[in-house]
Amino acid sequence: MFKGDTTIYIDSLQNDFDKIYVSYYYRMYRFAKEYVISDADAENIVQDVFMLLWEKRDVLNVQIGLTAYLFSLVKNKCVDFLRHRMIVDEYKQELKLKLASLEEINKAFGTDEEIERFITDAINKLPDRCKEIFIKSRIEGKKYREIADELNISVNTVENQMAIALKKLRVELKDFLPLLLFLTIC
């Protein structure tokens, strides 16, 4: 049947699933818990493995030992779980940074006039040509071609100066992400 590390055959899996579950559940659970730490997460992983085993019972033809097969399934589920957890944790960290940035804005600015003054100060720190082109583009709403014609320069020069201006403003306003968004959208 399935004693030791014998090969699983379709008859055995279909007829003895309950025995297999009882015999291996706790070992698989302990194995998963070593990696995912949480009881509930380890339980879910092992339940998923046995659910997969049950759902595939009609087509499953395992040519290795049952123990090795089950441990391999649990290991792969743990890897998937931990990779997903890392992505979630990175996303949470990014959200924390954004929240801190928003809270910083609340502390730094109380009124629209203060926000406008801060942006104006950052723009005034730009080199003269950058500042002039930035204002024409972002404040006056002119297209690059219009600015180029008005200043007798190439569109490429306008693009380069805008890139310089935005780069310098990003550095100047690095702690105030929403203000950067405002500058690039306006």
The DSSP line for 148-178 is HHHHT--HHHHHHHHHHHHHHHHHHTTT-HH
Same domain, 80 and 119: no
Q: Which of 95, 126, 157 finishes a domain?
A: 95
Contact 77, 48 (CB under 8 A): yes
Q: How many CB atoms lie within 10 A of CB 48?
A: 16
Residues 6+ apart with CB under 8 A from 40: none
Per-residue pLDDT in tens (0 to 9) along the chain, 186 residues: 444 444 444 455 667 788 889 999 999 999 999 999 999 999 999 999 999 988 887 776 666 678 888 999 999 999 999 999 999 999 998 888 878 777 776 666 566 677 778 788 889 999 999 999 999 998 899 999 999 999 999 999 999 999 999 999 888 877 665 555 554 544
Same domain, 129 and 161: yes
Same domain, 65 and 31: yes
User: What is the number of domains present in the chain?
Assistant: 2
Q: Is residue 156 one of the residues assigned to a domain?
A: yes
Same domain, 32 and 61: yes
Whichever domain contains 129, its CATH number is 1.10.10.10
Q: In sequence order, what DSSP letters do the residues of 32-56 get, joined into one string?
A: HHHHH--HHHHHHHHHHHHHHHHHT
Same domain, 78 and 155: no
Residue 186: the pLDDT is 46
Residues 6+ apart with CB under 8 A from 16: 1, 2
Residue 10: the pLDDT is 47
Burial of 147 (0-12, 13-18, 19+ CB in 10 A): buried
Residue 135: the pLDDT is 93
Residue 169: the pLDDT is 86
Residue 11: the pLDDT is 53
Q: Phi then psi for 65, rounded to 5 degrees?
A: -65, 150
Q: Is residue 4 one of the residues assigned to a domain?
A: no
Q: In sequence order, what DSSP letters do the residues of 56-111 get, joined into one string?
A: TTTT----SBHHHHHHHHHHHHHHHHHHHHHHHHHHHHHHHHHHHHHHHHHHH-SS
- Domain coverage including residue 142: 109-185
Residue 8: the pLDDT is 47
Same domain, 113 and 89: no
User: How many residues in total does the chain contain?
Assistant: 186
